[in-house]
Structure 1
């Protein structure tokens, strides 16, 4: 025997199926029995003359079908959610690998640049000092002029 919650949860489906099977049933007749299996059976018996077990079996089949459809929909949603999660994990992994490769490439480029600068400084130490001093002097003048204009 089904519970009141099951009957209420599937009420629209039960009501529609009952009216489809037995055209003598009116929506108002069925609405009076909302959630009450005993009252529903009484209304259907009165209007159709069908047996209690025939009505119970019919309603239970409707609810079982509705539950199976709900379970199927839940399974589909669960499957889709798993697919989305798997794709997100793959994208995260790919992005992580890409970032790691970019970091390694940048690290190698900085290291190579550092070695090149060291080579130039070792070959031309005086010129390197003069260029560095000149660049610092020019930067200082530009900063000084910019600061004095704002103040």
Structure 2
């Protein structure tokens, strides 16, 4: 993976070459893409009417550093996507485990104190019913 300095250098190189290729792009237009290759391609599509494939092909041919920039950006995006997917799956597993433990703990409480558990459940039901009733009346 490229360092930040290398990517900035490649971006600046690409910027100069893109300005030569598509002269109508102004400096303030560059602030709109904010260093994002996908935004640059989308912006160039809007300005030039060329297809994404045509623009990417032109960008790749402009310089070897810009080609490396595109490849590095895609690689980095793929790595982050995989990282996010892995951690989301791990998080879901952890949540499932915690919820399972809490369910078993609640079951043990109900088994040890069934009468108290029933009273709490009925009380919670009545309280929720009162709240729903009050909210329903105030909405009229």
**TM-score grouping bracket, smaller chain normalisation:** 0.5 to 0.7
The structure showing larger relative contact order (alpha-carbon pairs under 8 Å, at least 6 residues apart) is 2
* Structure 2: runs of 5 or more not aligned: 1-58
Is 1:124 aligned to 2:116, yes or no?
A: no
Residue 55 (structure 1) aligns with: none
The answer to whether the aligner puts 1:74 opposite 2:63 as a matched pair is: yes
Match of 1:84 in 2: 73
> Which one has a bigger Cα radius of gyration?
1
Work out the CA distance in 1 between the residues paired with 2:60 and 2:80: 30
Match of 1:140 among 116, 129, 132: 129
Shift of 1:149: 2.0
Structure 2 match to 1:13: none
Q: Per-residue deviation at 1:71?
A: 8.6
What is the aligned-residue RMSD (CA, Å)? 1.9
Instruction: Give the TM-score of the pair, scaled to structure 2.
Output: 0.54
SS at match of 1:147: helix
Q: Secondary structure at the match of 2:63?
A: helix
1:48 — aligned with what? none
- Cα distance in 1 for partners of 2:79, 2:127 equals 50
Q: 1:130 to 1:121 in 2, by over 3 A?
A: same
Over 3 Å counting, the alpha-carbon distance change for 1:71 and 1:96 in structure 2 is: closer
Q: 2: distance between equivalents of 1:93 and 1:110?
A: 26
Decide whether the 8 Å contact of 2:110 with 2:117 is kept in 1. Answer: yes
Distance 1:72 1:142, change over 3 A: closer
Unaligned runs of at least 5 residues, structure 1:
1-69
CA separation of 1:147 and 1:112: change in aligned 2, threshold 3 A = same
